[in-house]
Chains A and B, each alone.
Chain A
Amino acid sequence: DAGVTQSPTHLIKTRGQQVTLRCSPKSGHDTVSWYQQALGQGPQFIFQYYEEEERQRGNFPDRFSGHQFPNYSSELNVNALLLGDSALYLCASSFQRVLGNTEAFFGQGTRLTVV
């Protein structure tokens, strides 16, 4: 049983470009949350997708957008990249949103470097 898989593992982009990151949740999970982890910091919540809709959003600008597909996989899109967007982007999957009742499993992340 595959866990949470993210692609690509590493990515280098130029300032101003756009990027799309992908996540496949753990089998049986229907909720995907995205986090940004800057170097030396804890992960920061970006948003959460459930039933193909954005359900919760953290304090991130509209340049960050996402999508969830019928098979529960998800994409994170970032437009007009800034140097400060360089980070590890983590995807977490869970079942039916409520993390207090279920465990969230994290992928290994996508390391994005903006130059």
Chain B
Amino acid sequence: GESVGLHLPTLSVQEGDNSIINCAYSNSASDYFIWYKQESGKGPQFIIDIRSNMDKRQGQRVTVLLNKTVKHLSLQIAATQPGDSAVYFCAETGDKIIFGKGTRLHILP
């Protein structure tokens, strides 16, 4: 069925450390994945995407890794800052977006 899930609902990280948020997906035919950030009271905001023909993509302070063998995605945030506090969703897309449940990232001072 259609489902994209996350391993951990909450992640607490020290400010300045790196954050790693994991995600499992179930549809092996999915070929395009997106990570979204959702701050309180706002809609999801695009962070980074990756296609199934890639295994790694880097943006500004963020890296997405894709392991198609085990159907796993991860989002790495370097030097985590207070502004990174949010809920992060992985999603698979084609003509619609299928979201997972989300991981809440807490930044510890």
Instruction: Give chain A's interface residues, CB within 8 Å of chain B.
Output: 4, 33, 35, 40-45, 48, 55-56, 58, 90, 92, 97-100, 103-109
Contact = CB atoms under 8 A, between A and B. Distances in A.
- Chain B interface size band reads 20 to 34
Contacts, number: 63
Contacts of A109: 42-43
Contacts of A40: 101-102
Interface in B21-57: 31-32, 41-46, 49, 51
The residue among A42, A98, A108 with the most chain B CB atoms within 10 A of its own CB is A42
Contacts of A45: 96-98
Given A42-B89, A99-B32, A100-B31, A33 B43 contact: no
A99 B100 contact: no
B54 to A, nearest CB: 13
Contacts of B67: none
Interface string B70-109: 0000000000000000000101011111111110000000
B31 A92 contact: no
A115 to B, nearest CB: 21
A90 B96 CA distance: 13
Given A42-B102, A56-B95, A104-B97, 16 more contacts: A4-B43, A33-B96, A35-B99, A40-B102, A42-B100, A42-B101, A43-B99, A44-B99, A45-B96, A45-B97, A55-B95, A99-B94, A103-B46, A104-B93, A108-B42, A109-B43
Interface of B: 4, 31-32, 41-46, 49, 51, 89, 91, 93-102
Nearest to B102: A42
